[in-house]
Amino acid sequence: MFILSSCSNTPTQTIKEETKEKDVKVSYISQNNQAFKTIKKKGSSIAIITQVELGKSLKNAMASGGPENAISFCNLDAMRITDSIAKAENVIVKRLAKKNRNVANKMDDFESKIYKQYVMEYLDKKPLKAKVAVNQNSNPVYYKPILTNNMCLTCHGTPGSTMTNELNDKIKELYPDDKAINFEDGQPRGMWAITFANVNVNPKLAQ
Ligand code: HEC
């Protein structure tokens, strides 16, 4: 919507749209609250299970045909793996990124605002802790940043340096709009968002 309208609109209108993005209100459940602790525990274990499953499949695919094979594998399977875990746990599992590769993992304004806070905390060298926010349906949502390690740079690094140009070309064929390159070791790459759609939070708990 924004991209479409920004082509035909005057610059002033574009600025208004950007201001609107910043105004989204995000309410969090306080870390001292029991509801926070319960959701954090469940969210964290679901994120770990998903991470382990994705990691296992990635390693197998890399072992059987290198990163080029793993790229095609991810293209078909990453969403299927997250969806199947989500179904089993009765939650919605998302691996979101501001610089996304798969458009399905794009952040909306609400998620962007939360992620921006993480990026600021990262730049301030603060510990990146889990957060639990409440969405517009009063469901709790667990968030946790995803950081890169050296291995990730094979597919998310700098083309011609930490990542080969050949692999970058192959990725662009599969994801023409890829933004998920030029990362360095230890940087925030995105975040988990795990929505407990069956749980309703008393709005008084959120601040
Ligand atoms: C073999 C190549 C490869 C490696 C290694 C790799 N990724 Fe990815 N990554 C991909 C592909 C391909 C996608 C798109 C998956 C899809 O279509 O759902 C992706 C998607 C993601 C996403 C979802 C958001 C988005 O941009 O679509 C995150 C987050 C992510 N990767 C983080 C990491 C991290 C962290 C590491 C290291 C621990 C890593 N990746 C290692 C290829 C890779």
pLDDT digits (tens, 9 = 90+) for 107-116: 999 999 999 9
Ligand 1 neighbour 50 (Cβ under 6 A)? no
Residue nearest ligand 1's atom 40 by CA: 152
Contacts made by residues 52-60, CB under 8 angstroms, sequence distance 24+: 53/81, 53/85, 54/78, 54/81, 54/82, 57/81
Q: Is the pLDDT of residue 3 over 70?
A: no
Token digits of residue 47: 């994120």
Residue 2, pLDDT score:
30
pLDDT in tens, 35-88: 999 999 999 999 999 999 999 988 888 898 899 888 887 766 888 889 988 988
Mutate to test the pocket of ligand 1, among 74, 107, 173, 191 (most ligand atoms within 8 A of CB): 74
Q: Which atom of ligand 1 is nearest to the CA of 190?
A: 29
| 187 Cβ below 6 A of ligand 1 | no
Nearest CA to ligand 1 atom 20: 101
Q: Where are the domains of the chain?
A: 26-205
Per DSSP, helices labelled H in 90-129 are 109-123
Min mean pLDDT across 59-63, 164-168, 194-198 is at 59-63
User: What's the pLDDT score for residue 16?
Assistant: 44
Q: What is the position in ligand 1's atom list of the atom closest to the CA of 73?
A: 12
- Is any atom of ligand 1 closer than 6 Å to the C-beta of 167? no
Cα gap 54→43, rounded to integer Å: 16
Closest ligand 1 atom number to CA of residue 70: 1
* Strand positions, DSSP E, the chain: 27-28, 92-96, 131-134, 140-147, 188-195
On the question of pLDDT at 142 being above 50, the answer is yes
Which of helix, strand or coil describes residue 106? strand
d(CA 67, CA 141): 33
Whole-angstrom Cα Rg for the chain: 18
Given a cut of 60, whether residue 18 has pLDDT beyond it is: no
Q: Is the pLDDT of residue 10 over 90?
A: no
Supply the residue whose CA is at minimum distance from atom 5 of ligand 1. 152
For ligand 1, say whether the CB of 151 is within 6 Å of any of its atoms.
yes
Two tokens, residue 80: 């299927």
